[in-house]
Structure 1
Amino acid sequence: LGKADMDELPPGLNFIIPAVQRVIKMSVRTHSYDLRGANSINSLSKDGLTINTELTVLYKIKPDKAAEIYVEYGLDYESKIIKPVIRSAVRDVIATLDSSQVYQERELIQKKLMETVSKELEKRYILLDEILIRDIRLPKRVVEAIEQKRRAYEEMQKMKFVVEREKLEAERKRVEAKGIADANKIIAGSLTKEYLQWKFIENIKAYAQGDNNTVILIPYDQQMTPIINIPNIKK
């Protein structure tokens, strides 16, 4: 009688009164709504640049609220709910970010959109499943400037690493040289006159026991008695 019955019919077989009742079918499955191409969204970043965003919204209506959606918005609820809500959310989120953030932080944008859109759609009896960002386009000159800045930063970080590595290597060599110098000092301190004379005599003994040695010359200025190796006493 010109009024909507606010009780939804469950899936399956249902009976109606012909000519009196009319059934409006509304799918409660997940739907996708594209905002791409001519339907994409232009918005201004925090630093005043135009950002073009293309995305897909995955959603479904609440089964127990189908009648309310139909009464308030009709069957064209995508253009009356989904489109304006997502457009408003994209513009609000982009407005909080500068162009470099928009270019580099797509995940942050998606997270903020999910939070905002989910709340707004739920007020209108729609459940948000996912927002898929297809593309975010910035002016070409801006992209080139951001890339140049990124490369310069990476090069600077690389140079910092090289300088730090060279400093560590120089420190390693300094410690190594100090260790060698300290060791030499210890060795030099242990080389007394008596020790050197004893070592000298030991070396002469070892030489004298050689099979091919016949004569050993010892310097007289060492205050030692010359030693002559006589071959015929060898065994």
Structure 2
Amino acid sequence: MARCPRSRCAPQAHDDAGLSRDNLTIAFRVNTVWRIDEGRVLMFMDRFSTTVSNDSIEHNPDAIVKVAYANFIREPLRTFARDEVQRRNGLDVKETLIPIGDAVLARIRQYATESPCVFTSVVVGNVQYPAAVSNAVSLKLAATQEVQRKDTEIKIERKERTKREVQAQGIANAMQIIRGQLSSMYIQHEAIEAQELMVGSPNHTVVYIPVGPMGVPITGTFPTTAPAGPEGAPANPVVRK
């Protein structure tokens, strides 16, 4: 008489491959965790024990479980997994592995409703694309990263340019304010202060500064060249006494 298998969860896995919706060959791995319903062990034995020799069961009590998986579960599971992959574009498969696994689990549970097999989870993973596709994706990713890096550099340069423009505008505004607030009296006061500092200095250079009738230094904006005379000769300077 064959020994009854244990009803604990039995993880199984197999590698598979299929075409995506855009005809891209994709390799993947399907991992399944399932167990035998404790209330249907006799049904399980009646259906699958006749396909396994007693000697195999004596050496490996889970031999019936493996045979049941191979004969009853694996092919429908492969069909469901391939069908879910074919419903998606190749490059979208990696992004939807969890929905694919959930869909396969729902379909295998419905398939095994009247069987003694209870499915706990189905996980689809280890997706492998053809080498040409993987290389193209890598090149595209590298190009995208390079574009993003250059965009970042452009943004930084724009910020730096804006910063320099703001600084220059600030300096110009400050100079405008200073020019607007400087009066002739203030400039004369600064000239007198400079003369006093120069006189009190032990090492100074003699500087001749024009002064007005009251002895106050003359300040203002003067042309650097003398106006031309009647025939192009420099005009005689005007001397006031």
Taking structure 2 as the reference length, the TM-score comes to 0.68
Q: Deviations over 1:174-195 (max 9, x none)?
A: 1111111111111111121111
Structure 1 contact 46–94 (Cα < 8 Å) conserved: yes
Q: For residue 120 of structure 2, what is the aligned residue in structure 1?
A: 128
Structure 1 contact 56–132 (Cα < 8 Å) conserved: yes
Gapped regions of structure 2 (runs ≥ 5): 50-63, 218-241
Correspondence 1:1-235 to 2 at 5 A: 24-35=3-14, 40-71=15-46, 75=64, 76-102=67-93, 104-105=94-95, 108-109=96-97, 111-123=98-110, 124=112, 125-129=117-121, 131=123, 133=125, 135-210=126-201, 212=202, 217-221=207-211, 225=215
Write the distance in 2 (CA, Å) between the matches of 1:49 and 1:217: 91
Write the distance in 1 (CA, Å) between the matches of 2:42 and 2:212: 120
Shift of 1:196: 0.5
Superposed CA RMSD: 2.9
Write the distance in 1 (CA, Å) between the matches of 2:138 and 2:108: 37
Shift of 1:32: 2.1
Please say which of residues 65-74 and 50-59 is displaced more in the overlay. 65-74
The DSSP-based 3-state class of the residue aligned with 1:97 is coil
The DSSP-based 3-state class of the residue aligned with 2:5 is coil
The DSSP-based 3-state class of the residue aligned with 2:196 is helix
Please say which of residues 118-127 and 46-55 is displaced more in the overlay. 118-127
Shift of 1:57: 2.3
The DSSP-based 3-state class of the residue aligned with 1:58 is strand
Structure 2 contact 4–45 (Cα < 8 Å) conserved: no
Q: For residue 5 of structure 1, what is the aligned residue in structure 2?
A: none
Aligned partner of 2:4: which letter?
Answer: K
Query: How many pairs are equivalent?
Result: 196
Write the distance in 1 (CA, Å) between the matches of 2:216 and 2:159: 56
Write the distance in 2 (CA, Å) between the matches of 1:160 and 1:89: 44
Write the distance in 2 (CA, Å) between the matches of 1:117 and 1:66: 25
Write the distance in 2 (CA, Å) between the matches of 1:157 and 1:27: 56
